[in-house]
A = this chain, B = another copy of it.
């Protein structure tokens, strides 16, 4: 892989991590309100998948999408300003954390109804196929979304008409507080996809290189006319479901197991539920970012000092984003009404 790509992916992961930790802080200060679903732990998926896509491919995401937007290239300023509800935000302060849009980068949103990304992505893919274009639509969804009827309907249609869509399931093993074996009769998500005759594979979502590789190949297969593809990325979120969720339903040892890169023992399910303390979090070993950093340093793609510099760079970007968001103007009700009606501005209604 090119050095440049490796660097870009690491930088993206660091940016996502720093951005989200800061968002959590700003939430506690009251600068961000509403539901805030954070991404730490899952950065390897966004970085691996989106960096494998081309500029004319489309991305459709859910409510845990800050990382997806950042990796896609939306300036951190616009992402943060949206969280602050400002007119300079990527959705002009209208959408907030769960509804981020950047159509110029073909980042098509930001949907908070579980499962909704599927038909929307399939619809964009239908348009692409009908036009005979070489573009692909990447559709993110969680493990919990697999049980929504819309998932089923969408995959059947995507396969029936061989639409150019790559489904990426970010399987973090939980739908809020419900663990996957308690919400899915077949907890191996990729196996369920056999029902639609869509090639599906499960990969290690904590390893950005594997994610990138798998995505690249899947996109190639799609562009060669292979129809829709499905990738299940096994991953984990380090925080609660949203800032409103203490995450107490997950055993601390489970969280640690992921962060220190061990396979989860089946036994841990019976462990008493308890969210890890900050101390416990601090003493935890390597996570997906650490793993990648180690790989890059070991492989001499990067020196430790470079990583430090990168960390400082992204921190600056995040600080700047917060400053920008703080100083930005609020949207007005007039602008809201304009957005609502912008599509019929030149039409005579009555």
Contact = CB atoms under 8 A, between A and B. Distances in A.
Interface string A142-163: 0000011111110110011000
A239 interface: no
A194 to B, nearest CB: 6
Nearest to A149: B149
Interface in A163-188: 182-186
Contacts of A183: 160
A97 B77 CA distance: 61
Interface in A244-266: none
A195 interface: yes
Interface string A182-204: 11111000011111111000000
Interface string A58-78: 000000000000000000000
Instruction: Pick the most buried of A147, A156, A191, A195: most chain B CB atoms within 10 A of its CB.
Output: A195
Contact of A185 (B160, B186, B191): B160
A195 B197 CA distance: 11
A156 B160 contact: no
Nearest to A196: B185
Nearest to A159: B185
Contact of A186 (B186, B191, B195): B195
A257 to B, nearest CB: 25
Contacts of A153: 147-149, 152
Contact of A156 (B159, B185, B196, B197): B185
Given A147-B156, A149-B149, A149-B153, A191 B195 contact: yes
Instruction: Pick the most buried of A147, A148, A156, A185: most chain B CB atoms within 10 A of its CB.
Output: A185
A193 B185 CA distance: 11
A182 B196 CA distance: 13
Nearest to A191: B195
A239 B25 CA distance: 67
A197 to B, nearest CB: 5
A196 B146 CA distance: 12
Interface in A282-320: none
Contacts of A151: 149, 152
A182 B194 CA distance: 18
A194 B188 CA distance: 12
Contacts of A155: 185
Nearest to A161: B185
Nearest to A146: B156
Contact of A197 (B160, B186, B196): B186
Nearest to A227: B185
Nearest to A158: B185
Interface of A: 147-153, 155-156, 159-160, 182-186, 191-198
Given A149-B149, A149-B150, A155-B185, 11 more contacts: A147-B156, A149-B151, A149-B152, A152-B153, A156-B185, A160-B183, A160-B184, A186-B195, A186-B196, A191-B194, A195-B195
12 contacts: A147-B152, A148-B153, A149-B151, A149-B152, A156-B185, A160-B184, A160-B185, A185-B197, A186-B195, A186-B196, A191-B194, A192-B195
Can you list the 4 inter-chain pairs with the closest CB atoms, starting with the nearest?
A: A149-B149, A159-B185, A152-B152, A195-B195
